[in-house]
Structure 1
Amino acid sequence: MSARVAVVVGAGGELGRATAGKLAASGFTVAGVDRNAEGLAELPDGIQQFTGDATDPAAAKTLIDRIASEVGPPEVLVNTLGTYHVGGALDATPDDLKLMLDVNAGAALWLTQAVVPHMSGGGAVVHVAARPGLEPAPGMTTYAVSKAALVHLVRVLDVELRPQGIRVNAVAPALLDTDKTRPYLPPELLAHAVKPEAVADVIAFLVSDAAAVVSGAIVPTYGA
């Protein structure tokens, strides 16, 4: 069992996969979590795979407890889960809002609840927020509201968990240059999109000892 275990949730996606690789390269024993087993299969060798839906509170706890038992108590949690919805305020439906809140904010809370009991010696948590959660933007109401809820949750978690030696931060991308987003971005926007590997570098810093004095930060990763 490693003394330095990192859990990366959403590891089947491009940002999660890049983050898992960076943490493994920096010496962590990494457990990748995703509900998409095919995405997990693309992780680099040596990263352990756990399939499950972390948006479900019971499943989140079961996954983290299993990792703590089989791999070791996590020192780091990185949550890259997220989903997106386009639509203005007057078009939003209850289902739209519920889905955005469940995935973009709820999962962060359930995962943090699950991992904290295993961080008796302190630890680091990083969630993935987004620029619309910090700055109002038209046409993405429920998404922006859910990311704003996540931003505030990170700040609340920081206040509550910092006395236990647990640091909680977030990164806030604007546009990510991924296989999923690339076909929908016009050239002028794609030119400003950020590679997942660049955001993963920031996440790796935030969980490192070099960032020991950083907690409660929402770090913009907007690109040029």
Structure 2
Amino acid sequence: MSGSVAIVVGAGGALGSATALALAADGFTVVAVDRNERALKELPDTIGREVGDATDPDVAKTLIDRIAAEVGPPDVLVNTLGAFDLSDAFTTTPEALRLMIDVNLGAALWLSQAAGAHMQRRGSGAIVHVSARPGVEPTAGLTAYGVSKAALTHLVRILDLELRPSGVRVNAVAPQLIDTPKNRGFLSEEQLAHAVSPEAIAKVIAFLVSDAAAPISGAILPTYGG
């Protein structure tokens, strides 16, 4: 897979960073994208960096097209962007719902449009998004978040139907809890005991974009942990 181009969006976060490192270790030419320039600088110099907010459809397309022109058309797109909100159906605000939709759903669509166009022209490619267990199974107390992730789960299945005939595979991983510094700040020890490390999920993502996963498309792969 040497020379194959992988774009990892949200690479300033724990899961995105782990995924960028895993794909680089597998021989991909990796370009990391995040709006947080400082976080991107923590990645090794062997990984390319692009700063931008992929929740903006124009920015998402510009970023992908620039990477395609300067580095090469993407063989792989991994989108790890995500926002979280703790509110139920009676306390969710319009602002919270808009944010969840823009980050958890909108960015996935805009990035898939931009990268998918290049992949369709080449007749191959692999896209992986990050859903969540509340996007697969209804969960009380996470209304806006769960609805946005459920919409993302459905989008992945639609993209599979629309892109698979062109040789492009679209899948998702669905974590429950990820063991990150941010989550450690508000989760109990009991909850953290069931959290999955970003590195473990990154290995699943690396499998999904590999040739070994060629028969898999349209899958929402649980990464719930123990």
TM-score, normalised via structure 2 length: 0.97
| Aligned twin of 1:132 | 134
Deviation at 1:43, TM superposition (A): 1.0
Q: How does 1:43-192 map to 2 (within 5 A)?
A: 43-119=43-119, 120-192=122-194
Deviation at 1:111, TM superposition (A): 0.1
Question: Which digits, 9 at most, give the CA deviation of each residue in 1:40-65, with x for residues without a partner?
Answer: 01112300000000000000000000
Q: Distance in 2 between matches of 1:19 and 1:199?
A: 8
Give the match's secondary structure for 2:137.
Answer: coil
Structure 1 runs of 4+ with >6 Å offset: none
- Matched AA of 1:52: G
Q: Distance in 2 between matches of 1:126 and 1:114?
A: 14
| Aligned twin of 2:211 | 209
| Aligned twin of 1:9 | 9
Q: Distance in 1 between matches of 2:93 and 2:201?
A: 32
Q: Does residue 22 of structure 1 match 2:25?
A: no
Give the match's secondary structure for 2:27.
Answer: coil
Give the match's secondary structure for 1:110.
Answer: helix
Give the match's secondary structure for 1:84.
Answer: coil
Are the aligned partners of 2:3 and 2:27 in contact in 1 as well (CA < 8 Å)? Answer: no
| Aligned twin of 1:40 | 40
- Matched AA of 2:54: A
Q: Distance in 1 between matches of 2:212 and 2:114?
A: 25
Q: Distance in 2 between matches of 1:84 and 1:29?
A: 30
Give the match's secondary structure for 2:75.
Answer: strand
| Aligned twin of 2:196 | 194
Give the match's secondary structure for 1:8.
Answer: strand
- Matched AA of 1:223: G
Deviation at 1:80, TM superposition (A): 0.1
Note the residue ranges of structure 2 that are not aligned, 5 or more in a row: none
Are the aligned partners of 2:127 and 2:170 in contact in 1 as well (CA < 8 Å)? Answer: yes
Q: Distance in 1 between matches of 2:70 and 2:214?
A: 27
Q: Distance in 1 between matches of 2:117 and 2:145?
A: 30
State the percentage of identical aligned residues.
68
Q: Distance in 2 between matches of 1:51 and 1:149?
A: 26
Give the match's secondary structure for 2:12.
Answer: coil
CA-atom RMSD in angstroms: 0.8
Give the match's secondary structure for 1:184.
Answer: coil
Question: Which digits, 9 at most, give the CA deviation of each residue in 1:74-95, with x for residues without a partner?
Answer: 0000000000001110111211
TM-score, normalised via structure 1 length: 0.98
Note the residue ranges of structure 1 that are not aligned, 5 or more in a row: none
Deviation at 1:121, TM superposition (A): 3.0
